[in-house]
Chains A and B, each alone.
Chain A
Amino acid sequence: DVVMTQTPLSLSVTPGQPASISCKSSQSLLHHEGKTHLYWYVQRPGQSPQLLIYEVSSRFSGVPERFSGSGSGTEFSLQISRVEAEDVGVYYCMQGIHLPLTFGPGTRVDIK
């Protein structure tokens, strides 16, 4: 199985400051079609998970521009340019190319 690791596992951020989460996969997530299948989700307190970023760097519908994703191969990151109070939650990366589909352990983001 592909192992997904995330760092840090928790993050406390001052509103208006940037935040970054790293995600690494134990195998390449590059598909022969050229897409890289790395996804980011956020689970806000008491809510279902929501898709933030698909295929490394594409923002899903309705996701604010302050969220961006980058990376390639086996190393990826999620950046929040200026954290807002509503960004509190647990952020998960997930690989979507190798079965079984696997998630990272999650990074808990809270506000200072």
Chain B
Amino acid sequence: AQSVTQPDIHITVSEGASLELRCNYSYGATPYLFWYVQSPGQGLQLLLKYFSGDTLVQGIKGFEAEFKRSQSSFNLRKPSVHWSDAAEYFCAVGTPNSGGGADGLTFGKGTHLIIQP
């Protein structure tokens, strides 16, 4: 079975500084990979996704992520964070089924991002 590890439970970054959130997965092949963001009391919003092709993917709100097959990683980055980026971030994987879809997602436990003024 697949699994997702987000090693950092909390990360504190100063406003304007760069950000990198780590995600490692365990799966025998290349899964579908996603990053979601959740603001307090809200649902989850998809930031970006990877399923094939260019290993550097761009998402919404200025985020990008890089898929590294050799490291089984899919780290999320942003060059300059804003106070509004404070939220919970989840990495997730979907395993391709025979039809090319993904039946459901396996999530990491999340990283809580705190922005210092």
Q: Do A and B bind each other?
A: no
